[in-house]
Amino acid sequence: MEYLIGIQGPDFVLVAADNVAASSIIQMKHDYDKMFKLSEKILLLCVGEAGDTVQFAEYIQKNVQLYKMRNGYELSPAAAANFTRKNLADYLRSRTPYHVNLLLAGYDEADGPGLYYMDYLSALAKAPFAAHGYGAFLTLSILDRYYRPDLTREEAVDLLKKCLEELNKRFILNLPSFTVRLIDKDGIHDMEKLPIGPK
């Protein structure tokens, strides 16, 4: 039902998430933001079971900020991703596992842009592009076909639009709008919400 996508370029990461908060067959909100700002240059995109997403994401968010307060410097995206994975793994075999699928996107001064794919079994993989949800079945092949490591920002947005158009065309559920954000050395930038009008 929910959809996340991330595309990494040479000096940026582009991420998008749908805006629907649903409960069984009802859309309860049309403008729900599924991205959590962990720090000035790290975003956590989180989908999954109803209460688990916000509870887990806010827990990670507050702990990353606590690290900055205690130590005076921020966690790098790689460190934040591994910290998130460890927490997910620790809860996995407890009485209350968190059923969440995540994308973590960030920009590091030293290592550059990074996109990390994480699923509810706490598998972690650094990838050039990634997607979560049923929509991923339709769009991963588009990313395989057209992705190049040296995409410009405009080309990456066009690739993203290609994916969202495919969802509009073939995905059985209506996902009317998506929040799109771009992370680069200057921080997190909001891009225009993408509703693709009918062609």
| Binding residues vs another protein (CB under 8 A) | 21, 23, 25-26, 28-29, 32, 49-52, 54-55, 95-96
Smallest gap, in angstroms, from Cβ of residue 12 to another protein? 31
Interstrand relation of 21-23 and 129-132 (parallel, antiparallel or unpaired)? unpaired
CB of 27 to another protein, least distance (A): 9
Q: Which amino acid is at 103?
A: L
Q: E strand or H helix at 137, and its extent?
A: helix 135-146
The residue among 23 and 71 lying less far from another protein, judged by its C-beta, is 23
Q: Which is nearer to another protein, 28 or 123 (CB)?
A: 28
Q: What are phi and psi of 25, to 5 degrees?
A: -95, 5
Q: What is the DSSP letter of 25?
A: T
Q: Kindly state the smallest distance separating residue 175's Cβ from another protein, in Å.
A: 18
φ, ψ of residue 180 to 5 degrees: the values are -125, 130
Taking the least distance from each CB to another protein, the nearer of 52 and 74 is 52
Closest approach of another protein to the CB of residue 18, in Å:
15
DSSP 186: T
